[in-house]
Amino acid sequence: MGMQRPTDGANHAATPTLSASEQNRAYYDQDLAGKDDYWRKMAAPRARVAEFLRLLDQEPFFRLCDLGCGGGQLLQEIAAQHPRAALFGVDLAESQVVANRQAMPHATFFAMDLDQRSAVPSELLGKCDVVVASELIEHVGDPLQLLENARTLTRPGGRLLLSTQSGPLRETERRVGHQRHFSVDQMRALLQQAGWNPERVYNSGFPFHDLSKWYANRNPDASMKQFAQGKYGLREDLLCFLLRTAFVLNSRTHGAQLYAVARRVGSL
């Protein structure tokens, strides 16, 4: 893990004993029954998928890479909408990459630590029309290095689609490996520093995304047990349905969910 470069005014958690990569491995290498249910049913990830698909539809692309792809769920949904695109996935966990290769043989997966300089393999340099980084940058120790690595993956004029969080860093987020959150101005400055032209950086999600984060942190132990560790039952399914319905009313300009659309500037 590289040394963390300073970012102007970013929210910092207390200095951890484990590196960012180690913290993320400690959580995401667990075989938790609720992970897939969270992705398929919870309002926040469903809203992010919808926004990414909307952004992808704005211009054609042929090669796309999902950074921090996890179990490949986002790539599967992109593949369903864009079956002709060549898809790549990157994840920190080699075991996850092996599983993804078996589950999605039509996509190509790489294990790499995007916190490290020169992490991108030569066969991917400058190849992608679009790079997606969904809920990743808040996990890494060096956000600038992540954005620089994303740039090396992207052809000149290619796009970066990014989502992350604004606002306070709460207990449930620390437990899943968040290192910091970002304001619009902080994210715009980071993108520019890494060689991206930020075309749009915006918040969304007020009030229901913000309220759901606040409510989950009233009792972090219970929230993590109910919505991460076990399979969802009728009660969890009902709560997810109600929250997805409420999210339709969320603001597209205010809230703790942050999106960025940026374009690579400069040559390879």
DSSP assignment string, 75-119: HHHHHHH-TTSEEEEEES-HHHHHHHHHH-TTSEEEE--TTSTT-
Query: Do the beta carbons of residue 133 and residue 67 sit within 8 Å?
Result: yes
- Structural domain count, the chain: 1
The angle subtended at Cα 221 by Cα 220 and Cα 223, nearest 5°, is: 60
240 domain residue, yes or no: yes
Cis peptide before 207 (omega within 30 of 0): yes
For residue 15 the two structure tokens come to 């200095």
Q: Looking at residue 190, what is its pLDDT?
A: 98
Query: What is the domain-level CATH number for residue 91?
Result: 3.40.50.150
98 domain residue, yes or no: yes
8 domain residue, yes or no: no
The DSSP 8-state label assigned to residue 121 in this structure reads -
Provide the whole-model pTM: 0.88
Task: Provide the H-helix boundaries in the chain.
Answer: 20-28, 34-41, 43-56, 73-81, 94-103, 143-153, 171-175, 184-193, 208-216, 220-224, 234-247
For residue 90 the two structure tokens come to 């990157």
4 domain residue, yes or no: no
- Describe the strand order of the beta sheet including 154-165 as a list of residue ranges: 108-111, 86-91, 63-67, 128-134, 154-165, 257-264, 196-204
N- to C-terminal Cα distance for the chain?
A: 25
Q: Looking at residue 22, what is its pLDDT?
A: 61
9 domain residue, yes or no: no
Check residue 193 and give left, alpha or beta (phi > 0: left; psi -120 to 50: alpha): alpha
76 domain residue, yes or no: yes
163 domain residue, yes or no: yes
Residues of the chain with pLDDT under 70: 1-17, 20-34, 268
155 domain residue, yes or no: yes
Q: Looking at residue 8, what is its pLDDT?
A: 41
- Give the span between the Cα atoms of 137 and 34, in whole angstroms: 23
Q: What is the domain extent for residue 60?
A: 20-264
Q: Looking at residue 230, what is its pLDDT?
A: 80
